[in-house]
A and B are shown apart, each in its own frame.
Chain A
Amino acid sequence: DQQVKQNSPSLSVQEGRISILNCDYTNSMFDYFLWYKKYPAEGPTFLISISSIKDKNEDGRFTVFLNKSAKHLSLHIVPSQPGDSAVYFCAASATNAGKSTFGDGTTLTVKP
């Protein structure tokens, strides 16, 4: 039972354009949602998060949108930069200290 899904294994965008990464979840108990970025040979690093009481959270070039009724969230990166090229994982948890359930990841490539 895959509770967190990222249906696009890869995404390629041009530098300066918007990158939109999508994530769907099935467990209605999830209250916290996070995006992590991962470079090769490194562990995931935190990017941005949102709780279920909000529908948008913004941090610089990164914005996360949550549609709770659709059980869908998305990460927008604008403008995209070549340094953003990495694997992006969506993660969700039911409590703020509990385990995080990760999606499969989306490999973003930003072309100069």
Chain B
Amino acid sequence: EPEVTQTPSHQVTQMGQEVILRCVPISNHLYFYWYRQILGQKVEFLVSFYNNEISEKSEIFDDQFSVERPDGSNFTLKIRSTKLEDSAMYFCASLSGFRADSGANVLTFGAGSRLTVL
């Protein structure tokens, strides 16, 4: 079954450093998302990406964050200057399709990249 692949699985960085998290979405999917989950908290939406541009972003997704799809396959999340509170599990997801029984959009998530900022 097709998978969303994320790298690295775990990254430790110093506060103020730049971090790039990488994702390879499922090849024929068109919508891509980044979510994050701070330990023990809910999964929070960061940004959605469609047709090579941001379609929606949350208030968490400030100027320190950026996304791009540089080569048509990888989908990256960059944090320019990491803060302690950026420590979280970051999930990439792509839109699998719409359920016939509900019309709901079903996201396929990657296993996540754990970011630890020291």
Selected from A49, A93, A102, the residue in CB contact (under 8 A) with B101 is: A49
Count residues of A near B (Cβ-Cβ below 8 Å): 29
Bound: A36/B55 CA distance, A: 23
Q: Which residues of A contact B35 (CB under 8 A)?
A: 102
Does B18 make an interface contact (CB < 8 A)? no
Q: Write out, one digit per residue, whether chain A residues 15-59 have a CB within 8 A of any chain B CB (1) or not (0).
A: 000000000000000001110100001111110011100100101
Does B28 make an interface contact (CB < 8 A)? no
Does B75 make an interface contact (CB < 8 A)? no
Shortest distance from the beta carbon of A99 to any chain B beta carbon, whole Å: 4
Selected from A34, A59, A99, the residue in CB contact (under 8 A) with B48 is: A99
Q: Which residues of A contact B101 (CB under 8 A)?
A: 49, 57, 59
Instruction: Give B65-104 interface residues, CB cut-off 8 Å to A.
Output: 91, 93, 95-96, 98-99, 101-104
Chain B interface residues toward A at CB < 8 A: 4, 31, 33, 35, 41-45, 48, 50, 56, 58, 91, 93, 95-96, 98-99, 101-112
